[in-house]
Structure 1
């Protein structure tokens, strides 16, 4: 089980797509996540960009925890394909990112 909810990852994806207009909101949202959630977010990002396989999630989380030297929001914003990598990471883990994003845009 991921130490971060799919909804929170979906919110980061949505904010990442609007960084030019929502950078402060992105920073605030990521900064309020727990350390475990931030570490998991980085691991999902790495899986999505191909640095780790989905089967290596725990190793990706441990590596993200061990190598954390930059604030998570700042680190993630360094990738021009952040939203895509997060979506790909969730998909690799068997989670439908699009459905989670849709739920946030159109709550039931």
Structure 2
């Protein structure tokens, strides 16, 4: 775990907003992990009459997961440049790419990336919720 730093900065993005993103990211991760935990979740066994006894509404679950991902993607897309850069920097700090003393460098690097594909980039991180949570903790937010 990285060392927490005394707060000598202000976030443009509110910590409560980041916590909302954390909840949504963890919900997306949990949906994927639960489905594929044992690797055989989607196998269907047939009884002697060769009828499908598996009453699983996969479309409803898939729709819910897509809705959460879509909501998170839209929320990230609504961020301004500074907020988007800070969200990416928080993920990087939480992941260990930067420590708290390098916060300004992380934000500057994230800002250089631009925010056209920020949502796609962040949603591609398998542990986004955990990394954002760790980033907030490291920064003391």
Same fold (TM over 0.5): yes
Structure-2 separation of matches of 1:63 and 1:45 = 13
Structure-2 separation of matches of 1:77 and 1:27 = 8
Q: Report the TM-score, using the length of structure 2 for normalisation.
A: 0.64
- Whether 1:14 and 2:41 are equivalent positions in the alignment is no
The partner residue of 1:2 within 7, 11, 17 is: 11
Q: Report the TM-score, using the length of structure 1 for normalisation.
A: 0.82
Alpha-carbon RMSD across the aligned residues, in angstroms, is 1.3
Structure 2 unaligned blocks of 5 or more? 1-9, 32-64
Structure 1 unaligned blocks of 5 or more? 96-108
Correspondence for 2:69: 23
Which structure shows the higher helix fraction?
A: 1
Give the CA deviation at 1:39: 0.5
The partner residue of 2:133 within 66, 82, 87 is: 87
Give the number of the structure whose alpha-carbon radius of gyration is greater.
2
The number of residue pairs the alignment matches comes to 95
